């Protein structure tokens, strides 16, 4: 099943990103799929000071559910390394990859490009929105 990379329609990509890899991909659509996270949905927004409490929780979640595949360096293991990840991906794209993994792999051009490179579908680790936001806070420190 995981070989069926392009099983979703690519006409409705769901996330906006600014990764270099996206240059050759279909431009991101302005309206995400229903239920997907938009920049306005991210609470608290990322413009404030880093919340160390959230970082601690995010790191714990990372170690249990993400570390097997993502390093904290720039090197890819199974999935991409996380160093500087917020310079490459928008916060809402990351939140959607965490929370709506399958929908993203089926509709988002950048997610599909990543899958073509990595060949392993990113598992949905069933985080809550709050937990995904904590992981995002942890990413702010990387």
Residue with tokens 């890899």, as numbered in its chain: 21
In the bound complex, what is the minimum distance in angstroms from residue 88's beta carbon to other proteins? 18
Q: Is 113 in the site for other proteins (CB under 8 A)?
A: no
Q: In angstroms, how far is CA 101 from the centroid of its own chain?
A: 8
| Binds other proteins by CB under 8 A, chosen from 6, 7, 50, 64 | 64
Contact partners, residue 129, CB within 8 Å, separation at least 6? 37, 95, 99
Q: Does 71 bind other proteins (CB under 8 A)?
A: yes
123 counts as binding other proteins under rule CB under 8 A: yes
Contact flag: residue 69 with other proteins (CB under 8 A)? yes
Query: What is the C-alpha radius of gyration for the chain, rounded to an integer number of angstroms?
Result: 14
Report, in Å, the least distance between residue 14 CB and other proteins.
19
Q: 4 to 23, contacts with other proteins by CB under 8 A?
A: none
DSSP letters, 44-90, are S-TTS---HHHHHHHHHHHHHHTTTTB-SSS-BSSS---TTHHHHS-
Per rule CB under 8 A, is residue 77 in the interface with other proteins?
yes
Q: What span, in angstroms and rounded, lies between the C-alpha atoms of 142 and 126?
A: 23
Interacting residue ranges for other proteins, rule: CB under 8 A: 2-3, 63-65, 67-69, 71, 73, 75-78, 81, 101, 119-121, 123-127
């Amino acid at each position: 099943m995981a070989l069926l990379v392009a099983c979703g329609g690519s006409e409705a990509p769901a996330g906006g990103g600014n990764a270099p890899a996206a240059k050759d991909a279909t431009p991101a659509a302005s309206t995400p799929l229903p239920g997907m996270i938009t920049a306005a949905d991210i609470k608290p927004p990322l413009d404030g000071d880093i919340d160390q409490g959230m970082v601690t929780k995010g790191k714990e979640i990372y170690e249990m559910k993400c570390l097997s595949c993502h390093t904290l360096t720039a090197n890819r293991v199974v999935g991409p390394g996380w160093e500087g990840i917020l310079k490459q991906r928008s916060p809402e794209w990351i939140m959607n990859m965490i929370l709506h993994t399958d929908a993203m792999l089926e509709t988002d051009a950048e997610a599909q490009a990543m899958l073509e490179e990595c060949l392993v579908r990113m598992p949905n680790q069933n985080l809550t929105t709050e937990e995904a936001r904590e992981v995002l806070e942890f990413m702010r420190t990387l």
